[in-house]
Homo-oligomer: A and B are copies of this chain.
Amino acid sequence: MAVKPAIPKGTRDFLPAQAAKRQYIFDTLKKHFESYGYKPIETPAMELLQTLTGKYGEEGDKLIFKILNSGDFLSKIPPETLSTISSNELSFRICEKALRYDLTVPFARFVVQHRNEITLPFKRYQIQPVWRADRPQKGRYREFYQCDIDSIGSNSLLNEAELIAIMNNVFQDLQIPVTIRINNRKILSGICETAGVSKHFKSITIAIDKLDKIGIEKVKEEIISLGIDTHATDFILQFFEENADNKAKIQLVKEKLKGETAEKGIAELTEIMEFCETQQIDNVKIDFTLARGLDYYTGAIFEVTTPLFNSSICGGGRYDDLTGIFGWEGISGVGVSFGADRIYDVMEENNLFPENAEKNTLVLWINFGKEEVSYIFPIAQKLRNEGIITEVYPDNVKLKKQLKYADTNRIQWVAMCGSEEMKNETVTFKNLKTGTQHTVKISESVEFIKSQK
């Protein structure tokens, strides 16, 4: 009996139009990454389970797809153990590999494993799929691509500046209007430090992160409920006013914050903002509420938003110890990750893909029989050599059917060269968009199509 064709929940097939448009996004990212000297690397889809577990928190660990050991994986487990063991315990005894959950941990592993083959500063990009056993829902998939770019082994803020320039270039190229939001973990620490509530740092940032959704009054309630007095709470909340501009924000933290951490954070942020100013990058916005992945970031934090989409489409930051978990301490890095699926959705919904992103066939040669095809095949090849996508219809069937194929596949030109045309050494090109026909010398086919493009 035939198997019903289906794919696992939360995964996707990509039809030609979608695959080509996704490729357009990847190609655009690559072009910009490469122009700055970032180099491609690739890591395997499967990592050793021990490489991944314990890196994403308890919730994250549950979302790692484990790969069953091949062969007789039960042979070393006594039956009495089997009857009492939990699913979770058993999984670690019958699986030693898992699908990567992100590109960051594999990159850290890669850097340490190949430390003798790379030189610092090391700038890499990586565009590969990752897998998460998340509950599938709209816009959230179990297999999706991450597009990461990182520079490690240099503390210079020029790296941050360069990433801002790259994000800016990429989204300009993709025609997505964006705001690049920036914050600094050290300023957040400084706010709590100056307010004398450092021990509540994490809870406070979690509360502030919700500001967008629940509003300032609710955030205030939440902070007070941590046992922080109104005075300190008001002190903290003054930094999160939306309407202040970048200069006013920097002025405010300079005036109000004390301590080494805050000073360092302010100096870092100021230098980056100065750079943006001299380079006339004017869509960077300081946003002290930005607290993504705070356990992880130690300096700058980035997030890119667009009025065309309701969540961020790119983000990242500076982390001071990427590779410590694999035994190489103190390698600082900074990087951002582009959300290809979200970028795709934004572009699709707003018709931002250029017409040629799909790489449609431009010319279809009608098949009038074996002899005719042999005759025109080298001409078709010449068109291809000029970068013109060209098909020869494979079957000698009714013209109507061949034209229908051209129509369905949105092919602009059909070329007709039957026995009569062969005798005259001509070919008739018909433009299916306009209906106009042109008969030209077959030797001039390439020039004709090129002149019409």
Contacts and interface: CB of A to CB of B under 8 A. Distances in A.
A45 B143 contact: yes
A7 interface: yes
A46 B14 contact: no
A417 B131 CA distance: 46
A43 B7 contact: yes
B68 A367 contact: no
Interface in A51-92: 51, 62-63, 65-68, 70-75, 79-80, 82-87, 90-91
Given A45-B129, A374-B275, A36 B67 contact: no
Nearest to A7: B44
A287 interface: no
B165 A394 contact: no
A123 B389 CA distance: 13
Given A50-B3, A378-B279, A43 B13 contact: yes
Contacts of A48: 6-8
Contacts of A96: 8
A267 interface: no
Interface stretch (A105-113, A235-243, A246-254, A444-452): A105-113
Interface in A135-159: 143, 151, 154-156, 158-159
B121 A36 contact: no
Contacts of A84: 79
B275 A5 contact: no
Given A2-B325, A15-B114, A156 B396 contact: yes
A341 interface: no
Interface in A85-130: 85-87, 90-91, 94-97, 99, 109-110, 112-114, 117-119, 121, 123-124, 129
A39 B67 CA distance: 32
A29 B208 CA distance: 50
B13 A42 contact: yes
Given A74-B87, A91-B68, A131 B8 contact: no
A408 interface: yes
Contacts of A99: 45, 67
Given A36-B391, A326-B5, A384-B36, A83 B91 contact: no
B7 A22 contact: no
- A: contact size bracket: 35 or more
Interface string A328-368: 00000000000000000000000000000001010010010
Contact of A389 (B3, B35, B326): B35
A133 interface: yes
B41 A19 contact: yes
Contact of A165 (B71, B271, B381): B381
Nearest to A10: B44
Nearest to A71: B87
Nearest to A1: B327
A113 B124 CA distance: 38
Given A6-B48, A8-B47, A40 B13 contact: no
A245 interface: no
A221 interface: no
B70 A42 contact: no
A309 interface: no
A133 B70 CA distance: 7
Given A67-B68, A279-B377, A374-B279, A124 B16 contact: yes
A151 B13 contact: no
A79 B86 CA distance: 11
B47 A3 contact: no
A436 B151 CA distance: 30
Contacts of A39: 16, 19-20, 359
A113 B96 CA distance: 33
A112 B7 CA distance: 12
Contact of A112 (B5, B86, B155): B5
A95 B66 CA distance: 10
A25 interface: no
Given A41-B13, A66-B68, A133-B70, A367 B5 contact: no
Given A44-B143, A62-B71, A68-B91, 7 more contacts: A5-B112, A13-B110, A36-B384, A45-B45, A74-B90, A158-B367, A159-B394
